[in-house]
Chains A and B, each alone.
Chain A
Amino acid sequence: MAILVYAEHDNTSVKKATLSTVAAAKQMGDDVHVLVAGSDNEAATNAAAQIEGVSRVLRADNAAYAHQMAENISLLVADIAANYSHIVAPATTTGKNFMPRVAALLDVSMLSDVTAVIDAQTFERPIYAGNATATVKTTEDKVVVTVRTTSFDAVAATGGSAEVETLDNVQDAGKASFVSEEMAKSDRPELTSAEVVVSGGRALASGENFTKYIEPLADKLGAAIGASRAAVDAGFVPNDMQVGQTGKIVAPQLYIAAGISGAIQHLAGMKDSKVIVAINNDPEAPIASVADYFLEADLFEALPELTSKI
């Protein structure tokens, strides 16, 4: 049976998370189909059809799917699930939102945040904020998983030529409706797929200081900006910048943590980065245990100097 991948997209293009998810799905089976559910999603559908290794794209285009409401998307996916052995989605807030509903509708258990595929029924996933890795074998005949996209190298966005099938059974649960959205606008790379991330913690002390000390360095490195929960809670930066167990998981080539102590919940979100730099005035800060380069310094002096020297 084929594998169904749920595409993360904005109706015009598919997100990189989808490419990593296809890569994970390819390790579960050969025949990978991609579902593009949205509204006015022709462009995204066409983009999905070009993804390397995808044999079929299912297009569900209806206002009911415009905001990826979990109530509707889960009905749609459960409705076509009979044709698939595996249903796979990225562990983004969209995937986390609707996939457990799919599993419950199918009366099967699911696996969240899979970081490795051992075989079609066996997977690795982090537990306890990444302080342990569990190998889990499922005996469900329908396997429902979300995957941690930073753990899988994206397949190529082009080169494929999948056939497109249109689904016209509209599922509208009618219990929930979209009211509004406040999306952060930024010209920076997306946090979860950026090559370089510069993060600030409580020590930054204000939103202005993020602008004054973190942004110039991020600009120079073409980096995304992240933050600890303490910095988000204090209102220095918006919630979508939180890195950690309960925020975003990042694994860039270079992660710079300035004024972040390194609580286990923060480390859970960034310790798979290739190179970690910590700037902290406390030589005992726990982040030292994961940092490749630890600079004991006052960040208000070190950051401007670093910005000027690279």
Chain B
Amino acid sequence: MKALVAVKRVIDYNVKVRVKADHSSVDLSNTKMSINPFDEIAVEEAVRLKEKGVIDEIIVASIGPKEAQEQIRTALALGADRGVLVVTEDKTQPLQVAKILKQIADQEGTEIVLLGKQAIDDDNNQTGQMLAALMGVGQGTFASEVVVEGDKVNVTREIDGGLQTVALDLPAIITTDLRLNEPRFAKLPNIMKAKKKPLDEKTPADFGVDMTSKQEIVKVVPPAERSAGVRVASVDELVDKLKNEAKVIG
């Protein structure tokens, strides 16, 4: 069976973004870009399923600028087999991404699609669920455990009150949470090999998807800064401040 993994090129999670002076967006010039951390976990999970013999081919797809090749190559170095890059300079929106991914999944006949639970740039947490709805299949979101058995997959999900396990008919969509696995590091020989793996380039037009957004960004501003606090020298001083200054304890 085949798996499709969606990887997004995003700002590296260690970088603190700055808002542009004109408040039009955040400043991404000269910023380190990486594969979205959740997507790295999705790639790792697909590779583990392949190592277990459950999956025989892993296709990675990204919708984004030309440079997103780097993120696809990273996924190929981690063990994916081939890549599809849908090139667009537009900022991508979950619904459009889901429409493109649906067509790739249909064309390829993939049984499992793995995505991250959220992209850490826009923090939307939508694409996997939208894809599942468009495909009319079940979804295991925020997955912390994935077990494929025959034509079903059991997914344990991290929910507000604890953990929930659901059984999904294949094909199914899975979105990853942080504790699903710990991604491996790509080894140098695999990075070299990844350069030779096939990478197809497409455009949104090839899928007949209009990338125009129905959401206009009016402005982007930095969050309200907290005013710098004070250092307290002792527990006694802390207790005094909490009681008499902040008045948050009795």
Contacts and interface: CB of A to CB of B under 8 A. Distances in A.
Q: Does A associate with B in a complex?
A: yes
Nearest to A70: B139
Interface in A112-135: 112-113, 122, 126-135
B223 A132 contact: yes
Contact of B138 (A67, A71, A182, A302): A71
A74 interface: yes
Interface stretch (A21-29, A32-40, A173-181, A206-214): A173-181
A1 interface: no
Interface string B134-176: 1011111110100000000010011111111111110010000
Contact of A100 (B130, B136, B177, B232): B130
Nearest to B218: A135
Interface in B81-124: 93-95, 98, 117-118, 120-124
A245 B238 contact: no
Interface string B181-202: 0000000000000000000000
Interface stretch (A48-56, A80-88, A103-111, A153-161): A103-111
A181 B162 contact: yes
B129 interface: yes
A248 B16 contact: no
Contacts of B209: none
A275 interface: yes
Nearest to B213: A109
B17 interface: yes
A62 interface: no
B26 A132 contact: yes
A4 interface: no
What is the interface of chain A mostly: helix, strand, loop, or mixed? Answer: mixed
Nearest to B249: A310
A169 interface: no
Contact of A173 (B126, B138, B158): B138
A224 interface: no
A9 interface: no
Contacts, number: 252
A306 B239 contact: yes
Contacts of A105: 133
Interface in A88-105: 92-94, 96-105
B121 A297 contact: no
B160 A97 contact: no
B218 A133 contact: no
B164 A178 contact: yes
B19 interface: yes
A182 B165 CA distance: 9
Contacts of A296: 231
A169 B137 CA distance: 20
Given A93-B159, A109-B95, A140 B214 contact: yes
B242 A254 contact: yes
A181 B158 CA distance: 10
Contacts of B213: 109
A178 B239 CA distance: 48
Interface of B: 11, 13, 16-17, 19, 26, 93-95, 98, 117-118, 120-134, 136-142, 144, 154, 157-169, 172, 177-179, 213-223, 226, 228-232, 234-236, 238-239, 241-242, 246, 248-249
